[in-house]
Every structure is written in C-alpha cells, then in structure tokens.
Structure 1
Amino acid sequence: MKKFIINCLCAGVLSGSALAAAAQAPLSVSLHNPAGVAGGLVEVDYAMVAAQWAPLGKGSFKVLNTATGKEVPYQVLTEGTGQPVKILLDVPLKAGASTTIRFVAGKPAPVAAKTYGRYVPERKDDFAWENNRVAFRMYGKALEATPKEMAYGVDFWNKRTENLVINKWYKRTNYHKDDGDGLDYYHVGLTLGAGGIAPYLQDSIWFSRNYTGHRTLDSGPLRTSFELSYDAWQVSGKPVTVTKTVSLDAHAQLSKMQVRYSQSLPVAIGIIKRKDPGTILLQEANGVMGYWEPQHGADGTTGIGCIVLAPVKEMKVEKGHVLAVAATDGNGAITYYTGGAWDKAGLIKNADQWFRYLQEQAERLRQPVTAKIIQKK
C-alpha cells in the first residue's frame, strides 16, 4: 500500500513538472500579409499572447523569426494606459507573404531608437516628433503671442539622415539652413500645413487655435505616440473641442492621426498649396490625396500626402489648399494618415514615386498583417 502511494505521488510530481515545462515552452505565432504590397510594422495583441503564454507577464522575453533564427526587434505599447496593450514587431513581410515568430523567455537584444518625440517648451511650446525618415511638429499656445510667427497646421521637416535630429536641430542657431542632414524650409502659416484638420461648415475652414495640453503615450524605439488637446473655439456659433492622438512608426513616411471632436462634424483635411505649379493626385474612392510641390530653389522638392480611411465626400483645390472633405463618425472621431517626402533624402525623388507610395500604403492600411497563435513547442 505504501509503495502504491509513493508511486502515485511521484507520478503527480512528474505530471506537475511536465505541466510547468509546457507552460514555459515557446509560443509560435503565424503572421500573414494579405495585401498586394509589402507590410509595415506588425501589431500583436498583448492579451492574446499572455492568455496562451504565462512567461509574458513574468519577465523578459525574446521574439525569434523561425525562418532565420534571428531576433525580431519589438516594443511593448501601453497607449497611455500604464498597462501593456500591444506588442509592436519590426518584421518586414513581402506582399502576400507569411512567416512564423516564436516567443521565448530570455533577455532581448537592445533595440536602437528609430522614433522620438517631445514637448519643446524652449521653442514656444512646439511638440516635435520624428523617425528614421521624417520629422514633424505642431504648434503650442505660446506661439500665439508672436503674431508674425503664428501658425496652425502640421509642419514638415526636410531631413536626409536616419539619425534622430530633433534635439540637435533645436540647439542650432538656424535650422532653416542645411548643414548636411536637412533643414526646415516648409512654410505653414495660417493654414492646415502638411495635412492638418479642421471643421468644414458653410464652405469655410474653422481653424482652432494651437494646442494647450499634451501627454506622451508611448516613446520609441519603434513607435512614438502622444496626445494634444485644444481649448474650445466657436464653429458656426457652437463651442467645439478636439483631442488629437498622433503616432509615428519606424520606417514610415506618414503619421497616424486619430482625431476626436466634441461632436460629429464635417471636416477638411488639407495641404497648403504653393503659388507655382505642382503635381496633384486626388483619388476620392480610396482616400488618397497627394501633392508634389514646385521646387524650392536649391532646397529641393517636398511631397505631402494624406490617406483618409473614412469615406471621402470630395477632394478639391480650394481656399489655398488641396482638400479632402469627409465627416467624423457618430462619436466625433476620424482617423487618417499624413506625411511627406523630400527628394534630397534619396528614397522618393519625384511625384510618380510619391503617389505610388501613398497608394501602396492605403492598400496596406486597409489590409493589415494578421497574427494567429498556432502552437507551442
């Protein structure tokens, strides 16, 4: 009888050990890119992985590409909640391609920072953000005290380096001069600039003032995101407020703009149009709006473009802008993408290349990479 009890206890220990080992086993996830163009960074739901793989919330982990055996750079996103929400993976997938990644316990290799953003109080409340390709800024309340410099919209910085330049450029005596890594020559003024947004009623653009509140949500290395809030202003006789959540991924030319107004509204997303002739692309059906500016002397040429995921009512050239007119949803929200390219950066050199990039990104955004847990090993 004693021998039987001992054997049962040993079997229980072995069974418990086997279960513990199984819980620690690597978790495999299949990724598939359904689009006819190459994919960007890949989002995987943190809770989905945590439900199947206990080590995720207990310590450090690595992500391996099973085809190459190499580590996949990643970033855990909280989206300002203080808790993990998503895992952002830098795993390129060609058109229609699939691959498998594996989550394993262990200390990951450091990931070089490819995105960055911050509030810039030393330059009249700017908020600037960038990645390894492009840089932008939006304007804060302090700028309103200098009417000659006042600007509303999104500013685009012409950089031609993969290095992060925001802190370096703000220390320059003149970042409107190219010292080898680019310059800021893009003019915004009292316009929507490089893809700003505003209510559009009675055939008028109802500009807000500049942002008054800011909050960083995630800070690199693969994605920087932040939130800007605005004081109420009058729109056709009614007070309106807005909050803008902006994010930029590594390797992208476009920032994601998630905008929420205090009420449902028709809106215009706009690109300032220059006086000299440029090249314009208006594709209402797939929400793509592009502008290849006239050359800016020795500085080169800038392209600006927007992708609107919501239905677009119309696109037109009016009021000094290239405009896409749409509407928020029932909650006052709309999501779109805006960004730019500079021919001197060497990646996108002409209007055809820029418009093709925008069209491909529209397809990718509407058919994102999917993730599915397939097995443990």
Structure 2
Amino acid sequence: MKKNLLLLTLLAGSFAAFSQNKTITVTNSLAVDREFETIELTKKSLGLAANAKLEDYVIKDAASNAFLETQTVDNDGDGTADVLLFQPKIKASSKQDFTVAPGTNPSASKTENCYSRFVPERTDDYAWENNKVAFRTYGPVAQKMVEDHIEGGTLTSGIDAWLKRVEYPIINKWYEKMTSGAGTYHKDTGEGLDNFHVGDSRGVGGIAVKADGKYYFSKNFISWKTITTGPIRTSFILTYADWDAKGNKITESKLISLDYGSQLSRFEINITGAKEIAAGLTLHDKKGTTGTNLKEGWLSYWEPIDDSEIGLGLVAPKNTMTSFDNHVTDEKDLSNLYGNIAVKNNKAIYYVGFGWKKGSPYQTKQEWEKYLSSFAQKINNPLTVKVKK
C-alpha cells in the first residue's frame, strides 16, 4: 500500500510539473522576416496561478530546445513581475512554437545592453541606451543653473542624441571619462560622441503644444523613476512641472522605453490640457532634407553632421498622426519638423530615434526611410501569440 501511495505521489508531482509547461505559437503575418520585436507575456495570458513568479520561467525554441533571452519587468512597482519579455526570430509569413517552462537559463546575459539611469554627477541628466543608440535629457538642477546665470546649466525639454558606434554600453564609460577629467564625450575616439545640438529645439522627439499658431513646451523634467534595465528593455518615467500653452494648463509625464535592436525609443506621453501634441525633430541649421508619409505614419530628417550624416525619425501608430508641420523660423533652435499626434484618454504614443551613418547600416536617406516604413508596418501588424491549451 505504501508503494502505491509513493507511486501516486510521484505521478501527481510529474503531472503538476508538466502542467506548468506552456507551448505558445508566435505568428508573423507579414511577408518579411522579423527580429528585435519584443513580446510581452503575463501570468494571465499563460494561464499561470496568481502566486506563480514569472522570474522562475524560461523560454525555449520548441524545435531546437535552445534557450531564448528573457527579462521580467515589474511595471507597476508592487514588487511582483508583471510581464515576461522575449524577442523571437520569425521567418516571413510563418509561425513558430516556443515552450515556457519552469527553470533557469544557464546562458542568460549578464550585460544590461538596454540601460538607463539618473546621472547626478553630470548635473542631473537622465540617459538611456541600447546596443544601437543612446539619448539623454535634462533635470531641474540644470534648469536652475541657467535661471541663476550659473555656467554649465541646460534649459530644455528637448531630447539629445548620443551617437554611439559600438554594440556595448557606453553611458557610464563616457560620463566617467568626462567627470574624471580623463577625456570628453564630445570627441570620437572610436566609440562615437555627443556632437548633436539640442538647445531650445525639440531634439529627437521632444513635444510641444500649438496654440494660435505658436508652439509652447515644458522646461526640464522635475522627477524621474527607473522601471527596468536589462538585456531586452529599459524603461522609465519623467515628470514635468505644469506648464502653460496660451492659457491652457498642461500636465505632462513621459513613459519612455527602448528595446534591444531598435533605433527608436517608444514615448508614451501622459498629458492633460491638450487634444493634440506636436512631437518634433530638430531641423538644426536647415541644411537637411525632410521626408513625410502620413499614410504610413512617419516623418524623417536626413542631414549632415560634422564629417558624416544622420537620419532622425518619428513613427506613430496607424491613424494617430493627423498632420505634420515643417516649421521653419529664423528664431534660434526653433525650427522643427512636427508630427501632430492625437491625444486619446490623455495619452499619445510615438516612436522616435536616429540612424547615424558612422554607427548604423543606414548610409542614405532612402535606406533610413525604408527602415522607418518597415518599422511602421511592424508596429501596426504586431507578432501575435497564442497559448496552446
């Protein structure tokens, strides 16, 4: 009798373990190969128990049994992971099976290729990067320095581009080089440099609100919150002081994320006081060439920068970019190519970034705009996931 009980116990344990394995099918509806697109799995979508921990699960290719890189994210800050991220490679017009199972990935990356942080040692920047691009923007101390006429401050809610040409992280290295006096990130010694001017412009994706023909925008961010860093995604929130657009009180915060392999950051603007925002790409000294495609939902600006060239790009989900404005003025730094994006339920979403000729595959305006067109097609036709029962 004891042997039978032991056998039943072992069998029950085996079935319980088996029931935790899930097979999911990822489908690509487009006639192009797909990679570097992030899929989010939740406990609910996987049919896991409420007390299950996503950190305890791995993802394998069902055919090869090879591990895929994963990352868990606690989006709401309650101490429990909300999503399990992974990036499959899916051939054109095809589907592929993956296994989600309890376990540990022995080859998990220990490098945070998608990284962001507050940078108090350089006044109070907030900087972020992945393996392709890097960005930063500026905080309240930098603003106050300008207002108090102290040298070294920065007053703008525009977004700066750091032109990296290496796959590995550079943010900490460049800041340490600058603050220690060992060098400067304004000179390219093989990894790239910061030679991108922002000033009062919108830089790469800063926002404005238009009222009676004039553009208004916030000052520097006043607070920040890092949500996650890792091999697949970094995300964070920047909050701004209330600001005025010709009598309209505007409240603004930005949820920004950047995924591995992407040239573009995702911006989710939470805003009140405006039915539409204008997301901008700086036109600098107006020596570049604009490109626009409202039907596909993207804008571009290709321009010379020192001894190279750079493409700026803005992509909005289908039917959310209602119009654009190639706003050219003699006022310093205020010429921007604006995409006008509808605000729905106090939110507006777009993707924005760049491709530097020295640090990306995009060597011409045509190649850059082909990337933007492909990016738009993919966000409007996302990979779909079905959990097999």
TM-score, normalized by the shorter chain, greater than 0.5: yes
Q: Which residue of 1 aligns with 2:371?
A: 357
Query: In structure 2, the residue corresponding to 1:122 is in which secondary structure?
Result: helix
After superposition, the Cα gap between the structure-2 partners of 1:273 and 1:47, relative to the gap in structure 1 and judged at 3 Å, is same
Q: Which amino acid aligns with 2:11?
A: A
Q: Which amino acid aligns with 2:23?
A: S
Query: In structure 1, the residue corresponding to 2:239 is in which secondary structure?
Result: strand
Question: 1:30 deviation in Å?
Answer: 0.8
Q: Does 1:245 align with 2:259?
A: no
**Counterparts of 1:69 and 1:100, CA distance in 2:** 11
Question: 1:241 deviation in Å?
Answer: 1.2
Q: Which residue of 1 aligns with 2:227?
A: 217
Q: Which amino acid aligns with 2:190?
A: G
Q: Which moved more, 1:261-270 or 1:40-49?
A: 40-49
Q: Does 1:198 align with 2:208?
A: yes
Uncovered stretches (5+) of structure 1, i.e. residues with no partner: 1-5
Query: In structure 2, the residue corresponding to 1:314 is in which secondary structure?
Result: strand
Alignment partner for residue 257 of structure 1, among 267, 275, 278? 267
Question: 1:19 deviation in Å?
Answer: 4.0
Q: Does 1:117 align with 2:112?
A: no
Q: Does 1:328 align with 2:343?
A: yes
Uncovered stretches (5+) of structure 2, i.e. residues with no partner: 147-152, 179-183, 329-334
Larger RCO: Structure 1 or Structure 2 (Cα < 8 Å, ≥ 6 residues apart)?
1
Tell me the TM-score normalized by structure 2: 0.87
Number of positions where the alignment pairs a residue of Structure 1 with one of Structure 2: 365
Q: Which residue of 2 aligns with 1:79?
A: 75
- List aligned pairs for 1:148-167, cutoff 5 A: 149-167=154-172
CA contact (8 A) 2:24 2:387 kept: yes
Q: Which amino acid aligns with 1:306?
A: L
Q: Which residue of 1 aligns with 2:149?
A: none
Question: 1:54 deviation in Å?
Answer: 9.1
Q: Does 1:317 align with 2:326?
A: yes
Alignment partner for residue 338 of structure 1, among 335, 341, 352? 352
Computing the radius of gyration from Cα coordinates, the structure with the larger value is 1
Q: Which residue of 2 aligns with 1:91?
A: 88
- Alignment deviations for residues 167-222 of structure 1 (CA, whole Å, 9 cap, x no partner): 11112232110011000011110011111112222222111011001001112121
CA contact (8 A) 1:224 1:248 kept: yes
**Counterparts of 1:205 and 1:338, CA distance in 2:** 19
RMSD: 2.2
Question: 1:56 deviation in Å?
Answer: 5.0
- Alignment deviations for residues 109-130 of structure 1 (CA, whole Å, 9 cap, x no partner): 2223221000011112110000
After superposition, the Cα gap between the structure-2 partners of 1:15 and 1:136, relative to the gap in structure 1 and judged at 3 Å, is same
Question: 1:360 deviation in Å?
Answer: 0.4
Q: Which residue of 2 aligns with 1:3?
A: none
- Alignment deviations for residues 29-74 of structure 1 (CA, whole Å, 9 cap, x no partner): 1111223332433323222355247995287332111222211000
Q: Which moved more, 1:273-282 or 1:218-227?
A: 273-282
Q: Which moved more, 1:320-329 or 1:46-55?
A: 46-55
CA contact (8 A) 1:50 1:57 kept: no
**Counterparts of 1:305 and 1:69, CA distance in 2:** 38
Percent identity between matched residues is 28
CA contact (8 A) 1:159 1:183 kept: yes
After superposition, the Cα gap between the structure-2 partners of 1:36 and 1:138, relative to the gap in structure 1 and judged at 3 Å, is farther
CA contact (8 A) 1:281 1:289 kept: yes
CA contact (8 A) 1:126 1:138 kept: yes
